[in-house]
């Protein structure tokens, strides 16, 4: 027993000795060494990782990502709409879908290949051979467009199928917005169109391109080990919408009448502009060359298939640019007699003439070595300032321009916005061409007084005329009313922008009344509209070269005549199949046809009897207007003041009994050459160059309203262009 105890004690001692050897200083030193080695290794590894991240991290990240099934898709923004002033959508972006095939994922699921191919054939009529070819030729691709322009119903039906059938793999849909124009050709000159990349071209689409466009979103994702997509989505920001000043109904009306005129007669071009003179808003504008905004490159509307087939690419592009051009703002022409209110307004404003001034028209003026004839070769006799407009007398206008001189005349051309761009918010505007001040010699000043020798655009002349009849204020023409965001909130509003005051209210009131007389009793009588007081002026301008004897006939007017709410400008370039091209009544009758339908459509209604607007001769022979209060002046004192400011010497005895007056005009009408307005003669030459405007006989002036374009040969034109012959000095 003692032995067992001794052995047990010895064994315990040995165990303690073993334990003491295991943790001795030598072992501790070894352990410390191992720890230091491991720590230093980890420290070195960390340093290496930091170095890699800083200096070569992108390359390694791309290497890692390349081993994943990664995808990225653009989420398109919606381009903003274009609306008319009443909220009618003129241009919009429609949501459509693209059908996308992911060959790589489909090949990773071979059991799903056939069921997917069958579904594509059944729902989208895609041939199985087409899908099989893609899988063979593009096995590593993850993005192949199988079909475009799919509508929501078809997409939703297929997505429902995929949710219930897990055997369909590798198919997904991508949204896209396609620009659409619900009314096709309506306001094509104004709206413009877009290219495939949402870049606007012409019209509002181009001018407000940045406002209409938004910012694309993006979808990122990759397939995990179970082939499910992990997605990260950044939403798209939609573009803003433009609310325009255009009235879609008014636009439809003017385009309809342009088509009807061209179907009945034809023309090289017709331009019609409707604007609000009190704020510069464009209500409607159109020309011959309308085109389908949904198919803007189609030339079949203006050329035959044979002609199109013969065009080179350059010729086709030139034809398209001509088709897309907005002639109302981009084509210049000599205004002719529609410019005469500017000449008279300038002289009246400067005090060089008064409403009581009279002029002797003896048939023409000797100017700068030339004799420039009036339309009435025998002369109008003694006429008042108002009658100078009423009868479109070139002789009186030349006398007035001589009083103004080149400096004042040129100053008012510029003050009324001629010779410069109006700044309208549309691309492609032209400035027109004026004779410089130092180039306005006697002859040039004389011919410029009645709208020859310089060019304007329809828009320029309409804006200038608007300022003459709205109280004397020139407002910048504009096509946009406001910009709204995707939620309908207003981002920016475009109010009226007053550029300058052109004439005084008293001068403007005189122009209003004189223009009314011109329609009621003068050369523009074909512009009458039953139930409305219309004011306006006709014009007939001969185009260059003069010997071609081609003309632009036009009418510019306002309704109501006193305190107008709208201005209309109609210009017909080379009317066809008419008795006489130099006939301003062609444009005036077209304007009347347009106004009859247009005025109620834009909320301007008849006011009953309008005879009260006709002037009465008081004892002093001045025009008195009993309608002033009924047309916006609510006080008798204001009416009296306005009448005093617009008095015109209109003595009946002078007008009807003077041997060279209006009665003489009627008697001599048969001896006048129709269409002669302004003639520079030289007995030593046989060559005639036409350059002026036309008049009508009083028989025609008193004729009843007739909007028919028939029997135009019966009209004697006061605005027709006359013959210029140089004279031997």
Q: Which residue has the tokens 């204001």?
A: 638
- Answer with the residue of higher pLDDT: 624 or 39: 39
Q: Please state the three-class secondary structure of 105-142 as a single string.
A: HHHHCHHHHHHHHHHHHHHHCCCHHHHHHHHHHCCCCC
Instruction: Examine the pLDDT at 624 and tell me if it is beyond 60.
Output: no
Greater confidence (719 vs 597) lies with 597
Degrees to nearest 5, angle at CA 448 with 560 and 670: 75
Asked if pLDDT for residue 259 goes beyond 70, the answer is: yes
Model confidence over 324-353: pLDDT tens digits? 999 999 999 999 999 999 999 999 999 999
Return phi, psi of residue 649, to 5°.
-70, 105
For residue 725, name the pLDDT band (cuts at 50, 70, 90). very low
Q: List the single range of 247-251, 584-588, 633-637, 683-687 with lowest mean pLDDT.
A: 683-687
Q: Cβ neighbours of residue 169 under 8 Å, at least 6 residues apart?
A: 105, 106, 109, 112, 116
Domain boundaries along the sequence of the chain: 73-222+233-244, 330-477+495-724
The string over 359-390, giving b where at least 16 C-beta atoms fall within 10 Å of a residue's C-beta and e elsewhere, is: bebebbbebbebbbbbbbbbbbbbbbbbbbbb
Q: What is the pLDDT of residue 243?
A: 98
**Residue 614 DSSP SS3:** coil
Residue 358 has pLDDT above 90, yes or no: yes
pLDDT at 648 over 50: no
User: What is the DSSP code (8-state) at residue 473?
Assistant: E
Largest CA distance in the chain: 174
CA 341 to chain centre: 27
Residue 70 pLDDT grade (very low, low, confident, very high; cuts 50, 70, 90): low
Q: What is the mean pLDDT of the chain?
A: 81
Which range (189-198, 516-525, 607-616) has the least confidence? 607-616
**Distance between CA atoms of residues 594 and 459, nearest Å:** 18
Per-residue model confidence (pLDDT) at position 408? 96
Across 487-506, average pLDDT: 95
According to the model, what pLDDT value does residue 33 have? 83
Percent of the chain with pLDDT strictly greater than 70? 76
The pair phi, psi for residue 500, each rounded to 5°, is -170, 165
**485-490 contacts at long range (C-beta below 8 A, 24 or more positions apart):** 485/240, 485/241, 486/78, 486/80, 486/238, 486/239, 486/240, 486/241
The pLDDT, as a whole number, for residue 314 is 92
Q: How far apart are CA 220 and CA 72, in angstroms?
A: 5
Mean pLDDT of 223-251: 83
Distance CA 194, CA 188 (A): 12
Q: What is the pLDDT of residue 57?
A: 67
Distance CA 31, CA 193 (A): 81
Instruction: Please give the CATH number for the structural domain made up of 73-222+233-244.
Output: 3.90.1310.10
Q: Is the pLDDT of residue 545 over 80?
A: yes
Report whether pLDDT(685) > 60.
no
Q: Tell me if 669 sits within 8 A of 714, measured CB to CB.
A: no
User: Residue 273 pLDDT > 60, yes or no?
Assistant: yes
pLDDT digits (tens, 9 = 90+) for 170-215: 888 888 899 999 999 999 999 999 998 899 999 999 999 999 999 9
**Cα angle 344, 349, 355; round to 5:** 65
Is pLDDT above 60 for 23? yes
In terms of CATH, what superfamily is 330-477+495-724?
DD-peptidase/beta-lactamase superfamily (3.40.710.10)
Query: From CA 723, how far away is CA 98, in angstroms rounded?
Result: 66
**Which pair of structure tokens corresponds to residue 287?**
């020309």
Q: Is the CB of residue 179 less than 8 Å from the CB of residue 89?
A: no
pLDDT given at position 63? 52
Instruction: Give the dihedral sign, CA 620/337/718/586.
Output: negative
pLDDT for residue 597 is more than 90: yes
């Amino acid at each position: 027993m003692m032995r067992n105890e001794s052995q047990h004690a010895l064994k315990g001692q040995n165990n303690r000795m073993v334990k003491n050897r295991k943790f001795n200083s030598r072992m501790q030193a070894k352990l410390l060494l191992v720890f230091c080695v491991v720590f230093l290794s980890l420290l070195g590894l960390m340093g290496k990782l930091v170095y890699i991240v800083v200096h070569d991290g992108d390359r390694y990240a791309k290497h890692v990502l390349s081993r994943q099934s990664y995808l990225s898709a653009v989420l398109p923004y919606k381009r903003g709409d274009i609306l008319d002033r009443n909220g009618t959508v003129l241009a919009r972006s429609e949501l459509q879908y693209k059908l996308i095939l992911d060959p790589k994922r489909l090949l990773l699921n071979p059991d799903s290949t056939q069921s997917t191919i069958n579904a594509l054939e059944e729902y989208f009529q895609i041939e199985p051979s087409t899908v099989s070819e893609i899988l063979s030729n593009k096995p590593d691709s993850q993005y192949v467009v199988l079909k475009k322009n799919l509508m929501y119903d078809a997409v939703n039906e297929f997505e429902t199928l995929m949710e219930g059938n897990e055997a369909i793999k590798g198919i997904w849909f991508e949204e896209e917005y396609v620009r659409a124009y619900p009314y096709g050709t309506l306001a094509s000159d104004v709206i413009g169109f877009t290219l495939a990349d949402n870049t606007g071209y012409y019209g509002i689409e181009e001018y407000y391109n940045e406002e209409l466009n938004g910012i694309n979103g993006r979808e990122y994702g990759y397939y995990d080990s179970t082939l499910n997509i992990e997605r990260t989505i950044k939403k798209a920001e939609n573009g803003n919408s433009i609310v325009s000043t255009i009235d879609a109904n008014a636009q439809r009306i003017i385009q309809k009448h342009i088509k009807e005129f061209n179907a009945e007669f034809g023309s090289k071009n017709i331009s019609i502009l409707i604007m609000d003179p009190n704020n510069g808003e464009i209500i409607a504008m159109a020309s011959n060359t309308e085109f389908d905004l949904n198919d803007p490159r189609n030339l079949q509307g203006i050329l035959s298939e044979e002609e199109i087939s013969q065009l080179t690419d350059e010729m086709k592009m030139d034809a398209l640019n001509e088709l897309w051009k907005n002639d109302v703002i981009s084509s210049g022409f000599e205004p002719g007699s529609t410019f005469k209110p500017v000449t008279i307004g300038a002289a009246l404003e400067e005090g060089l003439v008064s409403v009581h001034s009279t002029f002797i028209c003896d048939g023409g003026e000797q100017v700068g070595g030339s004799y420039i004839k009036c339309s009435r070769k025998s002369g109008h006799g003694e006429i008042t300032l108002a009658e100078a407009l009423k009868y479109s007398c070139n002789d009186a206008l030349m006398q007035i321009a001589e009083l103004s001189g080149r400096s004042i005349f040129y100053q008012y051309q510029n003050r009324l916005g001629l010779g410069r761009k109006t700044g309208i918010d549309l691309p492609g505007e032209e400035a027109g061409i004026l004779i410089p001040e130092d180039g306005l010699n006697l002859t040039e000043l004389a011919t410029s007084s009645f709208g020859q020798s310089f060019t304007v655009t329809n828009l320029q002349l309409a804006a200038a005329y608007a300022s003459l009849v709205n109280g004397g204020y020139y407002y910048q023409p504009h096509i946009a009313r406001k910009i709204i965001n995707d939620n309908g909130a207003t981002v920016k509003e475009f109010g009226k922008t007053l550029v300058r005051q052109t004439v005084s209210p008293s001068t403007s009131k005189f122009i209003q009344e004189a223009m009314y007389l011109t329609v009621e009793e003068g050369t523009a009588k074909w512009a009458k509209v039953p139930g409305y007081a219309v004011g306006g002026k006709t014009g007939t301008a001969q185009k260059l070269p003069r010997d071609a004897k081609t003309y632009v006939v036009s009418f510019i007017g306002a309704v109501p005549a006193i305190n107008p709410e709208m201005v209309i400008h109609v210009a017909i370039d080379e009317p066809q199949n008419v008795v006489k091209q130099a006939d301003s009544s062609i444009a005036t009758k077209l304007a009347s046809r347009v106004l009859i339908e247009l005025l109620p459509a834009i909320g301007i209604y008849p006011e009953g009897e309008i005879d009260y607007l006709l002037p009465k001769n008081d004892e002093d022979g001045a025009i008195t207007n009993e309608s002033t209060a009924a047309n916006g002046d609510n006080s008798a004192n204001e009416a009296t003041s306005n009448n005093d400011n617009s008095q015109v010497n209109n003595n009946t005895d002078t007008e009807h009994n003077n041997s060279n007056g209006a009665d003489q005009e009627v008697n001599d009408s048969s001896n006048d050459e129709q269409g002669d307005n302004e003639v520079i003669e030289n007995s030593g030459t046989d060559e005639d160059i036409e350059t002026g405007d036309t008049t009508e006989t009083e028989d025609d002036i008193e004729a009843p309203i007739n909007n028919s374009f028939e029997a135009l040969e019966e009209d004697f034109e006061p605005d027709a262009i006359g013959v210029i012959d140089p004279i031997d000095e």
